[in-house]
Chains A and B, each alone.
Chain A
Amino acid sequence: MGNRTIKVDYLARVEGEGAFKVVVRDGKVQEAELRIFEPPRFFEAFLRGRSIDELSDIVARICGICPVAYQMSAVHAVENALGITVDGPLRELRRLLYCGEWIESHVLHVTMLHAPDFLGYQGGIDMARDHGEAVRRGLALKKAGNDILTLLGGREIHPINVRVGGFYRAPRRRELAPLAETLKRARDQALETLRWVAGFDFPDRERDYTFVSLRHPDEYPFNEGHIVSNRGLDIAAADYDDHFGEIHVAHSTALQSRMTDGGAYLVGPLARYSLNFDKLSPAVQQAAREAGLGEVCRNPYQSIVVRAVEALHAVEEALRIIADYQEPERPAMAIEPAAGVGFAATEAPRGMLWHRYVLNGDGTIAEARIVPPTSQNQACIEEDLTSFIGGFLDLPDEALQHRCEQTVRNYDPCISCATHFLRLDVDRG
């Protein structure tokens, strides 16, 4: 039992393709590697020379789960370059669209992809035979998210209504009314889902993570805010390069992000929640406490509970936006092309998504840089495997492999996005 290799060649229930390998020598985890082997996707290169009018539709194609995040970071970065601030009802509609994506993405992961790890099933379909009510509820809740995307985005996947300056078309108040009825039911479904996952057994493991997320003075972050950490970082998106860097590691086609001091950091629900608990509504804070969470959560296995809290928040926020919505005079602000450099970070479901664009005077893109959340979390995922798996080595290979997979899925890794990512190897020698 002293030396083992656990190797997963194609990790299931994650978005995209990747693998991992854990090497155990003399009863200790010597090495944990997360390997991303989708081919690099070259999005940054083929945005060069394209018009800013095409940008939001091209970047939406990077990911089928979080297209809105790519659209939001892209249009905000271009607007930053052009010196434009989109405010009022258009800003609220963007937040509403983001609520839809968080609901869809979080609920799919919580219910169909991650819950089977805690309940001992191979997958969501197996689990559905015994936990039909929870699955039905999750699917209905996910559909509420789809409905938001369909109404605001034009369709449920890869929405087509987002542009620099706003939208191609803004909805009428009366169009949002049926959505509000769906979302009222969704609020109960989200609360039930939170109570369901709160009852799971969580391995008692914590790490002192460096959490990084956006923070905004008035709201739980989606589109806007400073990049902050629990170690005192507080910077604008434009200063990202001074504090973070990307390195290439041989075992992966995704770049790994690190702090400039070389340290790993964590983005996503745990970081967002721990840095912004005070920005959740009192009702959502109360629901989180009843689910067993404190104001800070350092146990990555409880990320499933935090995602359910964030799904509840997104439903509540969507209801608030719809109730307060005033139709804008125009669906988008007028845009004048200009040369410039723009930056933006927004909160994708999996964590902070940073974009930088250099624009030409004719409205075309000269340079694009995209740093997705999963590439930022890769180093943390490897450190979790190294730190935690040592405590589970008494498990037989199959159970140990399952625990490793669960540990990776704590991050809801989006490998398609990160490739520029899963198999499992545990080498026990």
Chain B
Amino acid sequence: MAGGGKPCRVIGLGNPERGDDGAGRAVARWLAGRLPPQVEILERGGEAADLLACLDGAGAVYLVDASAPTGAPGRIRRFDAAAAPLPAESFAFSTHGLGLGEAVELARALGSLPPHCVVYAIEGQAFDPGAPLSPPVAAAVAEAGGLLTREIAG
């Protein structure tokens, strides 16, 4: 398990009241009880100051978030955020503040990005208020959970 003795965290991001935006948090819930007990599982809305606090002091962080639609709903992609910035077009930045990509870059600029920082993105389809996960995204939750379980155990 990566982290070198420092905490290992899985952080599910999103708003579960907005359809597929809740995908990351659904993965965090799916992982509960399936990971070694020392791994912290968190659910967060994604506000940057809060997210930076979650990254701080960790040896390894796995972030799970929904990504912007490109026509392949449920597609799972893995990014090594410690190695390179996240692609801006996948994590649409809000005009209301700093998004995941900006929070990661801010952590990098501050030298507080964990040495191991991986982002799993599940491509969303619909983000309607109050809607459940769309079928392809719901199906991808267990698959992403399985990938994370194997990566963290490995």
State the A residues within 8 Å of B (CB).
15-17, 64-65, 108, 112, 124-126, 128-129, 132, 135-136, 139-140, 142-143, 146, 155-157, 416
Residues on the A chain within 8 Å of B42, using CB: none
Interface of chain A: mostly helix, strand, loop or mixed: helix
The reply to whether A135 and B110 contact each other, CB–CB distance below 8 Å, is yes
Known interface pairs A125-B102, A128-B106, A128-B109. Does A139 touch B95 (Cβ–Cβ under 8 Å)? no
Min CB distance, B16 to chain A, in Å?
12
Min CB distance, A68 to chain B, in Å?
14
In the bound assembly, the distance between CA atoms of A156 and B94 in angstroms comes to 16
The reply to whether A135 and B49 contact each other, CB–CB distance below 8 Å, is no
The reply to whether B45 and A156 contact each other, CB–CB distance below 8 Å, is yes
B50 interface residue per 8 A CB criterion: yes
Known interface pairs A125-B102, A146-B47, A157-B47. Does A15 touch B110 (Cβ–Cβ under 8 Å)? no
In the bound assembly, the distance between CA atoms of A416 and B106 in angstroms comes to 24
A17 closest partner in B (C-beta): B95
State the B residues within 8 Å of A (CB).
45, 47-50, 52-53, 94-98, 102, 105-106, 109-112
* CB contact between B96 and one of A125, A126, A146, A157 (< 8 Å): that residue: A157
Min CB distance, A103 to chain B, in Å?
11
Residues on the A chain within 8 Å of B47, using CB: 146, 156-157
In the bound assembly, the distance between CA atoms of A142 and B53 in angstroms comes to 11
Min CB distance, B152 to chain A, in Å?
27
The reply to whether A139 and B96 contact each other, CB–CB distance below 8 Å, is no
In the bound assembly, the distance between CA atoms of A16 and B49 in angstroms comes to 20
The reply to whether A128 and B110 contact each other, CB–CB distance below 8 Å, is yes
Residues on the A chain within 8 Å of B110, using CB: 128, 132, 135-136
The reply to whether A132 and B111 contact each other, CB–CB distance below 8 Å, is yes
The reply to whether A64 and B94 contact each other, CB–CB distance below 8 Å, is yes
Residues on the A chain within 8 Å of B102, using CB: 125
Task: With A136-B110, A156-B47 given, name 8 new contacts (CB 8 A).
Answer: A124-B106, A132-B109, A132-B110, A135-B106, A143-B53, A157-B45, A157-B96, A416-B96
Min CB distance, B15 to chain A, in Å?
9
In the bound assembly, the distance between CA atoms of A142 and B48 in angstroms comes to 10
Min CB distance, A13 to chain B, in Å?
11
Min CB distance, B28 to chain A, in Å?
17
The reply to whether B95 and A416 contact each other, CB–CB distance below 8 Å, is yes
Residues on the B chain within 8 Å of A129, using CB: 109
* CB contact between B49 and one of A15, A17, A64, A146 (< 8 Å): that residue: A146
Min CB distance, B101 to chain A, in Å?
10
Known interface pairs A125-B102, A156-B45. Does A64 touch B111 (Cβ–Cβ under 8 Å)? no
9 residue pairs A–B, Cβ–Cβ below 8 Å = A108-B97, A112-B98, A125-B102, A125-B105, A128-B106, A129-B109, A135-B109, A136-B110, A416-B96
The reply to whether A65 and B106 contact each other, CB–CB distance below 8 Å, is no
The reply to whether B109 and A126 contact each other, CB–CB distance below 8 Å, is yes
Known interface pairs A16-B95, A132-B111, A146-B47. Does A139 touch B105 (Cβ–Cβ under 8 Å)? no
In the bound assembly, the distance between CA atoms of A157 and B102 in angstroms comes to 18
Residues on the B chain within 8 Å of A136, using CB: 110, 112
Residues on the A chain within 8 Å of B105, using CB: 125
The reply to whether A15 and B96 contact each other, CB–CB distance below 8 Å, is yes
Residues on the B chain within 8 Å of A132, using CB: 109-111
